[in-house]
Amino acid sequence: LFMQVCHAVQHAHAKGVIHRDIKPGNVLVSTQDGRPHAKVIDFGIAKATEAKLTERTLFTEFHQLLGTPEYMSPEQAGGAPDVDTRSDVYSLGTLLYELLTGVTPLDSKTLRSAAYDEMRRIIREVDPPRPSTRLSHPAAPKPASSPSQRPPDRLASRVSGDLDWIVMKAIDKDRSRRYQTASALADDVQRHLSGEPVVAAPPSVVYRVRKFARRHRAAVAGAAAVACTLVLGIVGTSLGLVAATNSRRDSQAHAARAEAESRRAGDAEAAAIRAKDQAEYDAYIANIESAYGALQFNDTTRLLARLQACPPERRNWEWRYLHAASDTSEIALTHPARAVVSTVISRDGSRVLSSCNDGRARLWNPATGVELAAWSGPTRFRGVVAFSPDGSRALAAAEDGQVWVWDTVQLREVTVLKGHSAVVTFAAFVDEDRIVSTSDDATARLWDARDGRELRRTSHEGPIHRADLHLASARLATASRDRTVHLWNVLTADEPTILRGHTDSVVFVRWSSDGTRVVSASYDSTSRVWDAAIGDELSRITHEGRATFARFSTDGTRVVSGATSGPALVWDARSGKQLFRLSGHTNTVIGGAFSADDRLILTRARDNTVRLWDAATGDEWSCLRGHVETPWVAEFTPNGRQVITCGDSTVRLWAIPQSREHNIIP
């Protein structure tokens, strides 16, 4: 009957179907012409062998198992997307195990009482005892295949050997070591019944001789008797010779031991020195290999730690190469504080402004790395920073909602913008004399940059998360928790244009270069392009997670956007059609942008790297390594020749490679 079940499953596999729930309850035994006949039923969770498991085979997002845990293969329990016919072979092996022993390989009560993740771990990792071992246990149940009253020890002896090997091969955790087809399992069972060597048995000479002896008992017994007689005769005549030889060898061995002890004493010190040197060399090589592995995965933190562990006297060219590769930035402006959270470079590239978690705003000369000024206020500067168009003024937002303005030439305070009652989420110069800002207090305000007077304001029904100013048209786009985007002319009293359509908070907004469109990103998992004149939605794309950013290319034809899960996407701004995915980061992508010439795309992620991509193909161009923590800002500089970033305790400037980066060490 079991072989009939195997052949039925093999037939289903040949038709391109994997059952995925083979168990006693799904095997129906009927009689045909007075003989029992087995049928496999209930293909309710079967799948086609060529189809992908969109539900990830075992469970939905609500963690409901598909299949019966006691008969489920490790790869099915592990959620492998490539479950194949060998999963059914495992279930058939479990069925045979239960037929022989009366119980499943893994205890049903233990599985059913375990937590969800523990149940999956047991299926994947716990090795069951062999059937004969299970039957030898005093409390062993009565096998389903043995209705007689044989004692358990006799049953165990009958199962031990072929049946043990067949069952354990069928339920091997490694599917590559199982029978590759259900028919192969059935064939091995038939070999056992016919007294032939089974495939599952170790391919040893002893095993094959034993199988031969069982089939030819009389002939083997006679040959063994003759062989024993010959051996006894040879042994008897050899004993005298052996005794004499042993005596001579003993004397020679004594002399050899004395000589060896003398040499060993003389070599002990040299051996100890060599062992110590070898151990130090092995440790150095291990650190170099680990550092190179970290470089391949762009894990700068581990790379630097492994290089630091190498003794200075051991460091060779390979150490110097890896050390140089650990930081590819041109300039690193190091702050005394732990984390730099925001930075910006002036249009002419002569000044860099940053704020960090020590609460200060710092002005730098990037060419020399010299700190020009460090400003502080009653509360900490830990967010928005910006330069005026000509770079003569700078601003920074404080935690209390105030915005401070400084003269970057005379290095003095100009004014403080007081009015916001919550954290400022955006601030920018409209021109040298006016500043626009937004806040979590749901307002957007226009200020006089000379004396700090509020000139105009507008508001949302919820906090404003992000904003973007189109300088040429003096229009401000604001994204809010109230699920809308407002387009506001900051120089007039006109009512804002309101973009409605998102079904969750809008967290990012950006203008196209020509000011005719805006692109938004929302926690409703969509990024959308809008007509800025009439407020109509023009296109959209849906992400795997909550959308967090979206930026136009310089020519406005494409958009790069990202979400809380999945890679960044590049898509057509007019149709919403996805062009390609930027796959390479090992953690969440949190920002992106096109270069001014639309030749490259920049992305930053929580894997501590900034990556450059070929904007035409989506191929990775270069990985900018150096930060040991998440880069909070990454932008192309106004001159288009560099990238500016900040994270950990540094602001960094990187030269853009003119050709695609390749590995040097194989």
Contacts 24+ apart (CB under 8 A), 459-466: 460/484, 460/486, 462/505, 463/422, 463/425, 463/439, 464/425, 464/426, 464/438, 464/439, 464/440, 465/425, 465/505, 465/506, 465/507, 465/508, 466/425, 466/426, 466/438, 466/507, 466/508, 466/509
Q: For residue 565, give both structure tokens.
A: 């899960």
Q: Are 345 and 378 in contact (CB under 8 A)?
A: no
Task: Check residue 470 and give its pLDDT.
Answer: 97
User: What pLDDT sits at residue 54?
Assistant: 42
- Please give the Cα distance from 427 to 434 (Å, whole number): 11
Rounded CA-CA distance 551/463 in Å is 22
Report pLDDT for 666: 30
Rg (C-alpha) for the chain, rounded Å, is: 38
The share of the chain scoring above pLDDT 70, in percent, equals 89
**pLDDT tens digit string along 559-590?**
999 999 999 999 999 999 999 999 999 899 99
Identical fold, 2-202 and 460-647: no
What six digits make up the tokens of 552? 């136009």
Q: 533, exposed or middle or buried, with CB in 10 Å at 0-12, 13-18, 19+?
A: exposed
- The closest of 79, 87, 75 to 56, measured between CA atoms, is 79
- Can you name the CATH fold of 2-202? Transferase(Phosphotransferase); domain 1 (1.10.510)
d(CA 207, CA 213): 10
Q: In this predicted model, what pLDDT tens digit does every residue of 151-179 receive, in sequence order?
A: 666 777 788 888 889 999 999 999 999 99
The structural architecture, per CATH, of the domain 460-647 is 7 Propeller (2.130)
Secondary structure of 436-448 in HEC code, one letter for each residue: EEEECCCEEEEEE
Query: Residue 466 pLDDT more than 50?
Result: yes
pLDDT at 662: 41
Query: Which one, of 342, 298, 348, 354, lies nearest residue 322 by Cα?
Result: 298
Q: Where are the domains of the chain?
A: 2-202, 220-323, 460-647
Tens digit of pLDDT for each residue in 90-141?
999 999 999 999 899 998 898 889 888 899 999 999 999 999 888 887 655 6
CB 77 within 8 A of CB 63: no
- pTM over 0.75, yes/no: no
Q: Looking at residues 485-496, what average pLDDT do you find?
A: 92
Tokens representing 605 are 């992620």
* Phi, psi dihedral angles at 659 (to 5 degrees): -140, 165
- What the block records as the tokens of 141 is 């149940």
Reduced to 3 states, what is the DSSP secondary structure of residue 363?
strand
